[in-house]
Amino acid sequence: MFNALKPQAADKILALMGLFRADPRADKVDLGVGVYKDAEGRTPVMRAIKAAEKQLWEAETTKTYTALAGEPAFHAAMAELVLGKGYPAERLSALQTVGGTGACRMGFELARLANPGCTVWFSDPTWPNHLSILDFMKLPRKGYRYFDSAARVVDFEAMMEDLQGVTAGDVVLLHGCCHNPTGANLTLEQWAAVADLLEAKGALPMIDLAYQGFGDGLDADAAGTRLVASRLPEVMIAASCSKNFGIYRERTGCLMVLSDAAAKETTQGTLAYLNRQTYSFAPDHGARLVTMVLTDPALRAEWEAELEEVRTGMLGLRQQLADELRQLSNSDRFDFLAQHRGMFSRLGATPEQVETMRSENAIYMVGDSRLNIAGLNAKTVPILARAIIAAGV
């Protein structure tokens, strides 16, 4: 039977990681894999998480199963983080998931159960795994223009023009902040216009919020999501704890669904059903740590301080790279790097130029020229800047 299986296309980022590991050059720079790294190239355990783990180790008395949809305390802590204090608990259903990817998958599954004929609209470009999951599920999908690759800014006029084609019951996938792969975000005024359009069309917004706290701060990064949630009767939010809590391998995420209060019980039951059909119980360790950090004032203050260090560090690297490139190119065409937010930006290089930087300078980035700003440090920024100019970007 297994002889009938067909080879699957390799994940481009995982393949890039393999090439990087095999490269013997000591000065190689990894800007491909989407994880945060500090100035020493490490992805450290955050101080608050380490302290919470110690407390949990001392206090935990059992490893038995938790609730099928996850712990209500985790749901509440994440809802307050994402939606703010005073969020509409009477409208909220929530599901603890296997990372943010699991939250996205379960959101698509829920939408399919609710409306089997729905089309999912996605930004062009978007995180490649969005498309991979949709295609695997055989869900119809359509792209809407999002990024002006020449100006390296959001092409909002084109986005709104394309979204005119949305019909009632369709799902419109939006990036909550720190757009992956471009780093270009909607303004709050643009979020309001999108909310107006989706409300008029009767479409369901699904917001992928993977980087809250990495852009302009915890509240600012959630502002667009909160605006949409306050305006539309139904919203899905897929939140990841991998980046802002640094717990990548714990696979901790949360799917939040806002619906009419009368539909809450059925929606919550359906979410639990989806977990049961997929993997039964989501991992608990990371979710318990997140709950502890968010609900303990001392741990939360420590976490917010370290998250702010991470955020401002990335902003500093962005500004340094933009300044280096301005000096080397004698132009302002790379100033967009300082204006983008989060870990990623699209450089605007061709695949050939990306390959030149890899082969000649040991600089690894995805072929579409998405680079992970967090893979840099003060010493490697000038190296990257020189390589970009030498490659003719």
**Active-site residue, 158 included:** no
Tell me which of 210, 287, 338, 385 is the catalytic residue: 210
pLDDT in tens, 16-75: 889 999 999 999 999 998 899 998 889 999 999 999 999 999 999 999 999 999 999 999
Determine the length of the chain: 393
Place of tokens 């062009």: 124
* Contacts of range 112-120, beta carbons closer than 8 Å, 24 or more positions apart: 112/137, 112/139, 113/270, 113/274, 115/169, 117/169, 118/169, 118/170, 118/171, 118/204, 119/167, 119/170, 119/171, 120/170, 120/171, 120/172, 120/173, 120/206
Residue 320: the pLDDT is 98
Place of tokens 């190119």: 329
Q: Where are the alpha helices (DSSP H) in the chain?
A: 12-22, 47-59, 72-83, 99-114, 128-136, 156-163, 188-201, 218-231, 264-278, 285-295, 297-329, 336-339, 351-361, 380-390
Q: How far is it, in rounded angstroms, from Cα 384 to Cα 162?
A: 36
CATH topology of domain 65-295: Aspartate Aminotransferase; domain 2 (3.40.640)
| Side-chain half-sphere exposure of 315, counting CA atoms within 13 A | 13
**Active-site residue, 191 included:** no
**Active-site residue, 216 included:** no
pLDDT in tens, 233-278: 999 999 999 999 999 999 999 999 999 999 999 999 999 999 999 9
Q: Domain ranges for the chain, please list them.
A: 11-46+300-390, 65-295
Residue 264: the pLDDT is 97
What are the Cα distances from residue 202, in Å, to 105, 195, 231, 365? 22, 10, 12, 39
Residue 12: the pLDDT is 81
Question: Which of 239, 240, 251, 236 has the alpha carbon at shortest distance from 203?
Answer: 236
Segments in the chain below pLDDT 70: none
Describe the chain by its helix, strand, coil percentages, rounded to 5. 50, 15, 35
Tell me which of 30, 162, 208, 368 is the catalytic residue: 208
Question: Which of 208, 211, 203 has the alpha carbon at shortest distance from 231?
Answer: 203
Q: How many helices (H) and strands (E) does the chain have?
A: 14, 13
Residue 25: the pLDDT is 94
Helix (H) or strand (E) holding 344: strand 344-346
Residue 246: the pLDDT is 98
> What's 11-46+300-390's CATH class?
alpha beta
Residue 33: the pLDDT is 85
Residue 108 three-state SS: helix
**Whether the Cβ atoms of residue 220 and residue 7 lie closer than 8 Å to each other:** no
Q: How far is it, in rounded angstroms, from Cα 393 to Cα 381?
A: 16
Which tokens sit at 392? 């003719």
Predicted TM-score (pTM) of this structure:
0.96
**Active-site residue, 221 included:** no
Residues sharing a CB contact under 8 Å with residue 27, sequence separation 6 or more, in sequence order: 362, 383
Question: Which of 113, 84, 133, 101 has the alpha carbon at shortest distance from 254?
Answer: 101
Tell me which of 69, 203, 243, 368 is the catalytic residue: 243
Tell me which of 121, 127, 191, 303 is the catalytic residue: 127
